[in-house]
Amino acid sequence: MARTSSLLLDTCAAIWLAQQAPMEPEAVEAIDGASDAGAAIRLSLITAWELGLLARSGRAAMAQPPAAIFRAFLQLPGVALEGLTAEILIDSSLLPAPIHGDPADRIIIATARALDLTIVTRDRLILEYAARGHVRALAC
């Protein structure tokens, strides 16, 4: 079980949470536990970039502009923004192989590793990377 005080949402998890989409019971329990403990649920700044890409490509239907959606994420109770640092960006290029090819996911992984966070995700490649012991992840 993931530690409830140390969660990082990947972009899809943030979208599902904001839309109140069904999530795996263990993920719901971890998110609720973090909220009950008063711990922030983290959201990476790279999620803003990913939202823009999703909007541009049409891969995600958005009722509002990506910037408004990102601001709405940050208004969710208990959600806190996790910034990017030079160290995280450099580390995202130096992660143990084999590693995800998506740069945003690499940054999310590097953020989780740097800050000792558990990624909440449905991304199969992140979950496989976690299963190899390189990061903690919780399927949502």
In this structure, CATH architecture of domain 7-139: 3-Layer(aba) Sandwich (3.40)
Residues 8-57: tens digit of each pLDDT:
999 988 888 777 788 999 998 998 888 888 888 999 999 999 999 988 88
Structure confidence by residue, pLDDT tens digits, 78-100: 899 999 999 999 999 999 998 87
Q: What is the structure's pLDDT at 17? A: 79
Q: Nearest Cα to 110, choosing from 133, 87, 79, 137?
A: 87
* Alpha helices by DSSP H, the chain: 11-18, 25-36, 46-57, 66-75, 86-93, 103-115, 124-131
DSSP reduced 3-state for 23? coil
Residues 100-139: tens digit of each pLDDT:
789 999 999 999 999 999 999 999 999 999 999 999 999 9
Show the tokens assigned to 67.
Answer: 């910037």
Q: How far is CA 105 from CA 10, 29, 53, 76, 95, in A?
A: 8, 24, 13, 22, 11
What's this model's pTM, rounded to 2 decimal places? 0.89
